[in-house]
Amino acid sequence: MDIVDDEIFERVRQLIYRYVKNELGVAYFEVMRDQLIDDELGLRMFWSSNERDHNWRVRQPDGAFSNPVTTAFGRNQPLWVVSPDKKPLREAEQLSDEWSHTDSLTTYQPAADDAIRTLVVLPLRRNRPLGVCYFESTTHIGITDVAKAELQLLAESIAILLELYELNRSQSKMTSSAIFELQESLEAAQFPRLTRPHFFVAFSSRADTAVTTVISEVLHELSDRLEFTDWSGMNEAGNINAQISKEITRARFGICYLSEPVHDEPGGRADDRHDTYIDNPNVVFEAGMLHARTAATDPSMGGEPTGWIPMREVASPPAPFDFAAERTLLIPRFEDGKLNEARLRDTLRVRIVKLLGDA
């Protein structure tokens, strides 16, 4: 195969459509190409999620960019546009670019009819500017380093395919590589849902509810930067083990609270807490799957797992040998065995933010 013909391009287009609609959950997705409009440089819809034809001049008569999408194209900078007060962009008095920190953004009228709260614009460029692709979401979403890297990869793949389609010729190796890499990335679900990395949370049904409540509250607090699934909330019909395996496979990060009380009541006084907890075998197994899924560690993080956070009680037997070398978050408790919620909340928040990277 030495060209990207209509059949090949349509295959890839449908692949991207399926992903942005079903996995990213965006309200609108569009690719625009550069084109002269009345002898002025402009952008025209090339293909989109609703195929509504439209175009914009890059600059208005006074020299200002027409909107944030043309700004990203004109400056060759990606934009992540939100309203600081989380209002819909159509109603916002001020817009903020959290990616390139572009100032003086003009007002924006979304292509989608919904109350759009997040706009992400990615310039498409190879040897020359080709256009832009952009996403509109009704959710106010915080930016992450993971998001930027994954979306840049998607934009680069689309730019390669656009260039090959436009020229209608290319070496077969380059063509096959572009299609294979894009399909491999999308089918492996390496892109988080609209750039929010997915966490899998595992704990025993007998685990201390005070601990699991703190885990849930911290994750909800950071919900604009991540999404998460805990096994106890999975209610789809079918084999629960298969569902758990599927969720772990699509997870980028994980949290495993390994411990459960030996007896019915968690905690206990300091002088009788020796081995009052054990590790739940099912959670240990799920932790092993996460460990294999995110096996790489970053030496700059002191050997801390880069993909998951193990949590255990102090009053437990020795850790399972597979995790003994990992840096475990030990549950803080007072002398009477009661959970130190504030300390656990602060420690867990720091660990999760460290996994996500600086926004």
* Closest CA relative to residue 312, chosen from 340, 284, 351: 284
| Residue 116 CB contacts under 8 Å (≥ 6 apart), including other chains | 27, 28, 88, 89, 90, 110, 136, 137, 138
Domain 6-187 has CATH 3.40.50.300: no
Read off the amino acid at residue 324.
A
Letter for the amino acid at 200? F
Q: Specify the amino acid at residue 236.
A: E
Helix (H, G, I), strand (E, B) or coil at 192: coil
Q: Please state, as a whole number, how many other Cβ atoms lie within 10 Å of the Cβ of residue 324.
A: 9
Cβ-in-10-Å burial (0-12, 13-18, 19+) of 54 comes to exposed
Confirm whether pTM is higher than 0.85. no
Number of Cβ atoms within 10 Å of the Cβ of 20: 21
Place of tokens 């460990």: 291
Q: How many whole angstroms separate alpha carbon 117 and alpha carbon 159? A: 26
**Does the pLDDT of residue 1 top 90, yes or no?**
no
> Taking Cα atoms as reference points, which of 164, 242, 147 lies closest to residue 198?
147
CB 238 within 8 A of CB 317: no
Question: Kind of pairing, strands 253-257 and 198-203?
Answer: parallel
Taking the C-alpha atoms of residue 189 and residue 199, their distance in angstroms, rounded to an integer, is: 13
Tens of pLDDT, residue by residue over 190-210, are 444 455 788 889 899 899 999
**Cα dist. 118→18, 138, 156 in Å?**
20, 7, 21
Q: What are the two backbone dihedrals, phi and then psi, of residue 308, each rounded to the nearest 5 degrees?
A: -150, 160
pLDDT at residue number 271: 42
**Which of left, alpha, beta for 226 (phi over 0: left; psi -120 to 50: alpha)?**
beta
Output the pLDDT for position 24.
Answer: 66
- The encoded tokens of residue 115 equal 């109350």
Q: Taking the domains of the chain in order of start, what are their residue ranges? A: 6-187, 198-356
Helix 172-187, helix 145-167: angle, nearest 10: 140
- Give the percent of the chain with pLDDT over 90: 35
Structure tokens at 169: 């010729």
Q: Is the pLDDT of residue 307 over 70?
A: yes
Q: Quick one: average pLDDT of 170-182?
A: 58
Whether the pLDDT of residue 23 is over 80: the answer is no
Q: Is the pLDDT confidence value at 45 over 50?
A: yes
> Tell me, what amino acid is at 75?
R
Q: Which residues pair with 64 in a beta bridge?
A: none
The pLDDT tens digits for 116-174 are 999 999 999 988 899 999 989 888 888 888 888 888 888 888 888 888 777 654 454 55
| Cα separations in angstroms, 237 against 87, 240, 241, 322 | 37, 8, 11, 32
pLDDT in tens, 157-166: 888 888 877 7
What separation, in Å, do the N-terminal and C-terminal C-alpha atoms of the chain show? Answer: 41
Mean pLDDT of 91-117: 87
Strands 308-312, 227-230: pairing is unpaired
CATH number of 198-356: 3.40.50.10140
For tokens 């990060």, the residue is 253
Q: pLDDT of 264-303, one tens digit each?
A: 655 544 344 456 899 988 888 888 877 776 654 444 444 4
pLDDT surpasses 70 at 323? no
> Does 9 score more than 80 pLDDT?
no
pLDDT of residue 124: 95
How many CB atoms are closer than 10 A to CB 180?
10
pLDDT at res. 295: 59
* 4-13, 52-61, 300-309: range with highest mean pLDDT: 52-61
* Distances, alpha carbon 33 to alpha carbons 69, 80, 291, in Å: 12, 20, 43
Q: What pLDDT score was predicted for residue 329? A: 93
Mean pLDDT taken over the chain: 80
